[in-house]
Amino acid sequence: MKRVAISTLGCKTNQFESAAMVEQLQDAGFLIVPFSEPSDIYIINSCTVTARTDAETRRLIRRARRLNPESRIVATGCYAQVAPGELENMPELDSVLGNQEKQNIAALLESSDHQVSDIGVVSIGEPLKLTSFAEHTRAFLQVQNGCNSFCAYCIVPYARGRSRSVLPEDVMQGVRDLAASSFKEIVLTGIHLGAYGLDLLPATSLTSLVRRIEEEALVPRLRIGSVEPNEVSNDLLNLMTESHIICAHLHLPLQSGSDAVLRRMGRGYTAADFRDLTAQISAALPDAFIGADVIAGFPGESEEEFAETVRLIEDLPFSDLHVFPYSRRSGTRAAGMPGHIKPHVVTERAAILRGIAAVKKRAFFERFIGKEVRILVQGYDIKTGRCRGLSRNYISVSFSGDISLVNREVSVVITECTGDGCIGNIKGKVS
């Protein structure tokens, strides 16, 4: 039985696809081992959102070769899709496979050929099959892939192709399979999740899909992945407000708080639009966790434009930020724009934004001190006797418990918080 190790970089879609590849490989008779151990085959499921993630892919390839000089090393994912030539030149690497090739990874794994098909011509949202997930409590479910937006800074449409949705019945079957495997929370993922269903005949929507999952009530918790701000509809917010299973958690790609920068980026909203949206979310879901993506140092970003972003972020009820220092991606419109910011300035601006995010995250957590929250228990540490889990509104909580609580929902009273999570005491009903 050959051993295979997989390392995953990037988004929840990549994490879902790695889990699906693990299941496919196990069904084909491979033994899955940790990436840190000697293995016969190493797979690096790459990301290419920034130059840093490209460098991390190359580092993992070299690390795999050191772990077992006789192993076979395969790169797949978004970096492999958009820049196969860069990877093919690495002497440590044996094979490059594109994103579409993940569908047949078990058959292609030991091929000596590089295979990267043209993802731009793929028009059907074929889901990778997945009935299990390594964490055993929460599972990601890919319902959409690709993106038609072509924002100025983004390489993802070239790596993932055009927007395409998984058929609603296939999504529901995925939910049923995961529910049958005892998962208590499903996270819907996609590259452009808010575009779900627009490419189908007849067309449908993310809200319609979420409503159907809600109506079947197969799992106690449903979490929605990142949604573009101009695609959070009143219908979706109303459904979240009324639902017993949808988690009070939204992640919104802001990218900038300056209207001028947003226009250069090709984003379809203004800072005022974003301000109105977060006010609506807070009114409908007062305890919601609101996360956002923001880019520091986009080409031409002046001191005043950056200050506009800082002021907006300080004003809005964010619970956390994912801060991305701008990274030039060859093939994007932004790569050819004038006014690229010096790297040390980009780093400084990113640090300022991360500092604001840390303050906001802690303040959000501290709002819940003394309150009772429902926690899905994800793990138990036998050395400390403590459980860890996640609230519906995305607070990581640890508390004294026992292993029997794993994959169950419990009520916990939060007693104190740190920068990364909270501590509490178990109380009341276990389900």
Burial group, residue 260, by CB count within 10 angstroms (0-12, 13-18, 19+): middle
Q: How far apart are CA 237 and CA 224, in angstroms?
A: 12
Scanning the structure block, which residue is given the tokens 């801060």? 323
> The domain spanning residue 66 has which CATH number?
3.40.50.12160
pLDDT of residue 202 exceeding 80 = yes
Specify the CATH number for the domain of residue 384. 2.40.50.140
Last residue of a domain, one of 341, 367, 393: 367
Beta bridge partners of residue 416, listed in sequence order: 423
Kindly state the average pLDDT of the residues 200-216: 96
258 and 352 housed in the same domain: yes
Domain with 344, as residue range(s), is: 251-367
Lowest-confidence pick of 48-57, 130-139, 224-233, 362-371:
130-139
pLDDT of residue 134: 59
Least confident interval from 39-53, 121-135, 272-286, 411-425? 121-135
pLDDT tens digit sequence for 151-187: 999 999 999 999 999 999 999 999 999 999 999 999 9
Looking at the fold, whether 278 and 236 belong to one and the same domain comes out as no
What are 36-93's pLDDT values in tens digits? 999 999 999 999 988 889 999 999 999 999 999 999 999 999 999 999 999 999 999 9
- Compute the average pLDDT of residues 402-427: 94
Q: Residues 108, 38: one domain?
A: yes
Residue 198 backbone class (left: φ over 0; alpha: ψ -120 to 50; beta: rest): alpha
What's 155's domain CATH number?
3.30.750.210
105-to-27, 81, 97, 111, 258 alpha-carbon distances in Å: 12, 14, 9, 10, 43
- Whether 19 shows a pLDDT value over 80: the answer reads yes
List, in sequence order, the alpha helices (H) in 161-245: 168-180, 206-216, 234-242
Kindly tell me if the per-residue pLDDT of 233 is higher than 70.
yes
**pLDDT over threshold 70, residue 306:** yes
- Could you tell me if 220 and 107 lie in one domain? no
Give the residue, 19 or 286, on which the prediction is more confident: 286
Q: Which two tokens stand for residue 343?
A: 């790297």
* Same domain assignment for residues 137 and 237: yes
DSSP class of residue 229 equals: G
Between helices 271-284 and 303-315, what is the axis angle to 10°? 10
Q: Who's near 87: CB < 8 A, 6+ residues apart?
A: 57, 58, 61, 75, 79, 80, 93, 96
b/e per residue 365-386 (b: at least 16 CB within 10 A): beebeeeebbbbbbbbeeeeee
DSSP 130: -
Nearest-angstrom CA–CA distance, 99 and 61: 18
Instruction: Report the length, in residues, of the chain.
Output: 431
Write down the pLDDT at residue 420. Answer: 87
- pLDDT number for residue 409: 96
| Range scoring the smallest mean pLDDT among 105-114, 231-240, 408-417 | 105-114
The span from the CA of 49 to the CA of 59, in Å, is: 16
Confidence grade of residue 219 (pLDDT, cut at 50, 70, 90)? very high
Tell me: do 23 and 110 sit in the same domain: yes
Position 133 scores a pLDDT of 62
Out of 185, 219, 247, a domain closes at 247
Specify whether 293 is located in the same domain as 350.
Answer: yes
- Per the structure, the count of domains in the chain is 4
Within this chain, do residues 353 and 414 fall inside the same structural domain, yes or no? no
pLDDT of 104-152, one tens digit each? 999 888 877 788 888 777 667 676 666 666 567 899 999 999 999 999 9
Q: Is the domain of 131 the same as that of 241?
A: yes
Pairing state between β 409-417 and 41-46: unpaired
The domain boundary, picked from 117, 149, 166, lies at 117
